[in-house]
Structure 1
Amino acid sequence: MIYLGLFILSFVLTYLIKNFYIKKSLVAQVNERSSHTTPTPHGGGIAIAICWFIGLFILYFENSIDTSLFYSLLVGIIISFVSFFDDLFELSPKLRLFVQALVAVLGIYFLGGFNSLDFGLFSIENQIFTNIFAFFMIIWFINLYNFLDGIDGYAGSEAIFLALAGFVLFADSHFLVIVACVAGFLILNWHKAKIFMGDVGSTLLGYNVAIFTIYYSNYESSNFWVWIILFSLFWFDATFTLIRRKLNKEKLSQAHKKHAYQRLHQSGWKHDKIVIASIFVNILLFGLIFSISNVFISFIFAMIMLYAIMKYIDKRKAFN
């Protein structure tokens, strides 16, 4: 019943936010980076954030979530709050980075640190190294999720996939809370979107994925690679694009439209077609985890598949 209630609340809040933003002319204007053609309200992720934290507290008072995970996820309130104002006023990059660093430190603290990095043949258990790695991973996940929130339904469908996969693998209730909260928003975000998620939603979701990766890795080191594979559609695109731009000697802080999903849209694919294709790819990634017992082999196959997809997109729209 809690999940149905959160779903309905998310939808109602998204609808009300959309109407309020339209009334106040708080809309995302079309520019050179846009993949939309008409001014559209943004900041719908507020609904996701509100419902998510309500759901978290319900789970906490029902003793349905581990205390360390609860407090580390609760830190996400900070990134959501600051990102809300960033959506409205475009805060300075330095302030955003400071806040991201703060939540990364707090998140790691409440989780008790990042225990180890297992590479199969060897593992790294030096807490200084693993925690530094976790720090930068959290910041990168926050930013890359924001980078890839660029077309209708893309970021929302990715969140639902990760949550459903997490529930199948680990059977924890907080994943169903995410599904309910994001699904309510996604109704109005599916192509053609009537409202966008905004930084307030995308940064929170990226933070949550990073926290889940660390939390479940601390219980079983191979779970790190499970989450890396599940999230690979997003981080592979963001990381590979960043590396290519660096090799091209581009200014990395400059806005661009070179991510794979953006170039696929430029090649003629519509938003819904790209999202449906991404869902299919995610199902294949999930299948790799289930069909191959060795998670490191699954990771190799996942990288080969994603690289092949990237080369296919390069043929449709060259990386210039």
Structure 2
Amino acid sequence: MNALSLASIILAITLSACVVLLLIRKAGQLGLVQVPGARSSHVRPTPTGGGTGIVAGTTAAGLLLLKGTDHALQPASTLLFCGLAMAAIGLIDDRWPLSPRIRLPAQALLVAAAIWATGGAAALAGEAGTVAAALLAVLLLVGGVWWINLFNFMDGIDGIAGQQAAAMMASAMTIALLTTDGAGQSWLWWYMAALAAATLGFLAFNLPPARIFMGDAGSLFLGFSIAAIAMASLAAGWVSLPQWLLLAVVFAADATVTLIVRFLRREQLTEGHRSHAYQRLSRRFGGARPVTLAAAGLNMLVLLPLALLAGHGVIGWVIVVCVYALAATGALVAGAGLPDDQPASLGAYRRLLGRPPVGERR
């Protein structure tokens, strides 16, 4: 670790915390107060937009790191610029809700830029040729846009999104250090550290009970940054796709199962709701704290070791399938996608599919 690297981490966490404190004090004047509604998980007006601190801290640290690295300027600067653009989309959406017809194409354009800048699709394709690389680029584009939006969907209780970002960065950094020589000297590795540090600066005010919420600017920025970092690490050969999928399972399984169930229920998918598994569990267990702490423990104590075991071989895909099957089952047991007042049960899901529960007459 050199002095510049250490300075970037201090800058990330300090600037993030200072911006968050400023927003807490000025939220009313800026119109950044979230009033609880029927679909909210909080019960009193709370400042929002705190994710702006994460954006400021991470970006400033990333720019500082560029001064002391031999990392190619173009990919790094592209990621920084696209991250800021994604945060701007979220900030606008926080104040003046954007139509999906505007938001989704803009997100897709930024994800496409990240795919091009990092070379993630070409790295995954290897020697399979340009057609395979093009197909993988499309899959990464769809997956990247989905991940960004599901990360936004999952930011619904105190601390949950912040812990997920910090845990994924810490886990990816650990995997890279243990498996790749020289990873700790790269701009990318320290940029992961800066993102984690800035997120911790925000989490100091967002852990239950939260003094401020993240807002779309922060959640979209984090979702994009994680996706872009994942692509760059794939190109560098640090962290494999199965490993990233395992690190993402807490959010990916809950959001995907919830979306599918709500689609089968013919709900308006763009409307707000409180039917994610983590939201239902927070109501069942008396608040966000036990759910957020459980998610953090699962990420660091279970999924990180499994990701290390998965490595870059076929065994990794076997582990991914098994873990996602278990996670999807857990989400269903928690009642993901069901109405607030409907307990989770096999009968509830059978009715959803047009089948009566066992023993019930038609």
What is the CA-CA distance between 1:142 and the residue it aligns to? 1.0
Residue in 2 aligned with 1:106? 113
Out of 124, 138, 141, the residue aligned to residue 144 of structure 2 is: 138
Change (3 A) 1:55 1:250: same
Query: For 2:115 and 2:309, how far apart are their aligned partners in 1?
Result: 32
Where in structure 1 do 4 or more consecutive aligned residues deviate above 4 Å? Answer: 122-125
Residue ranges of structure 2 left out of the alignment (5+ in a row):
1-5, 177-183, 337-341, 349-362
Change (3 A) 1:292 1:47: closer
Do the aligned residues in 1 keep the contact of 2:11 with 2:57 (CA within 8 Å)?
no
Residue in 2 aligned with 1:220? 237
| 2:305 maps to amino acid | G
What is the CA-CA distance between 1:116 and the residue it aligns to? 6.0
Residue in 1 aligned with 2:334? 313
What is the CA-CA distance between 1:317 and the residue it aligns to? 4.2
What is the CA-CA distance between 1:115 and the residue it aligns to? 2.1
Tell me the alpha carbon deviations over residues 107-165 of structure 1, each in whole angstroms, 9 at most, x when there is no partner: 122123512658xxx99961221111111111111101100001101100111101111
Query: For 2:165 and 2:119, how far apart are their aligned partners in 1?
Result: 25
What is the CA-CA distance between 1:253 and the residue it aligns to? 2.1
Residue in 1 aligned with 2:57? 51
Structure number, greater radius of gyration? 2
Query: For 2:324 and 2:265, how far apart are their aligned partners in 1?
Result: 22
Change (3 A) 1:66 1:274: farther
Do the aligned residues in 2 keep the contact of 1:116 with 1:123 (CA within 8 Å)?
no
Query: For 1:269 and 1:300, how far apart are their aligned partners in 2?
Result: 32
2:314 matched to 1:285? Answer: no
Change (3 A) 1:116 1:57: closer
2:89 matched to 1:76? Answer: no
Tell me the alpha carbon deviations over residues 13-58 of structure 1, each in whole angstroms, 9 at most, x when there is no partner: 1001111113445301111221111111110111110111111111
Query: For 1:12 and 1:6, how far apart are their aligned partners in 2?
Result: 10
Do the aligned residues in 2 keep the contact of 1:35 with 1:262 (CA within 8 Å)?
yes
What is the CA-CA distance between 1:66 and the residue it aligns to? 4.7
Change (3 A) 1:194 1:123: farther
Query: For 1:144 and 1:123, how far apart are their aligned partners in 2?
Result: 31
Tell me the alpha carbon deviations over residues 155-181 of structure 1, each in whole angstroms, 9 at most, x when there is no partner: 001111011111111242112101210
RMSD over aligned CA atoms reads 2.4
Out of 188, 196, 209, the residue aligned to residue 192 of structure 1 is: 209
Query: For 2:106 and 2:166, how far apart are their aligned partners in 1?
Result: 26
2:276 matched to 1:259? Answer: yes
| 1:310 maps to amino acid | A
Do the aligned residues in 1 keep the contact of 2:175 with 2:308 (CA within 8 Å)?
no
For residues 146-185 of structure 1, what are the structure 2 equivalents within 5 Å?
A: 146-170=152-176, 171=184, 172-185=189-202
Change (3 A) 1:9 1:127: same
Query: For 2:38 and 2:116, how far apart are their aligned partners in 1?
Result: 40
% identical aligned pairs: 28
For residues 32-51 of structure 1, what are the structure 2 equivalents within 5 Å?
A: 32-51=38-57
Residue in 1 aligned with 2:322? 301
Using the size of structure 1 for normalisation, the TM-score is 0.91
Query: For 1:281 and 1:192, how far apart are their aligned partners in 2?
Result: 21
| 1:144 maps to amino acid | L
What is the CA-CA distance between 1:69 and the residue it aligns to? 4.1
Residue in 1 aligned with 2:354? none
2:279 matched to 1:273? Answer: no
| 1:45 maps to amino acid | G
Aligned residue for 2:141, secondary structure, equals helix
Aligned residue for 1:314, secondary structure, equals coil
Residue ranges of structure 1 left out of the alignment (5+ in a row):
none
| 1:318 maps to amino acid | A
Segment of structure 1 superposing worse, 25-34 or 42-51: 25-34
Query: For 1:14 and 1:152, how far apart are their aligned partners in 2?
Result: 15
Do the aligned residues in 1 keep the contact of 2:242 with 2:307 (CA within 8 Å)?
no
2:12 matched to 1:26? Answer: no
Do the aligned residues in 1 keep the contact of 2:144 with 2:224 (CA within 8 Å)?
yes
Residue in 1 aligned with 2:247? 230
Do the aligned residues in 2 keep the contact of 1:124 with 1:130 (CA within 8 Å)?
no
2:104 matched to 1:97? Answer: yes
What is the CA-CA distance between 1:244 and the residue it aligns to? 1.4
Change (3 A) 1:65 1:48: farther
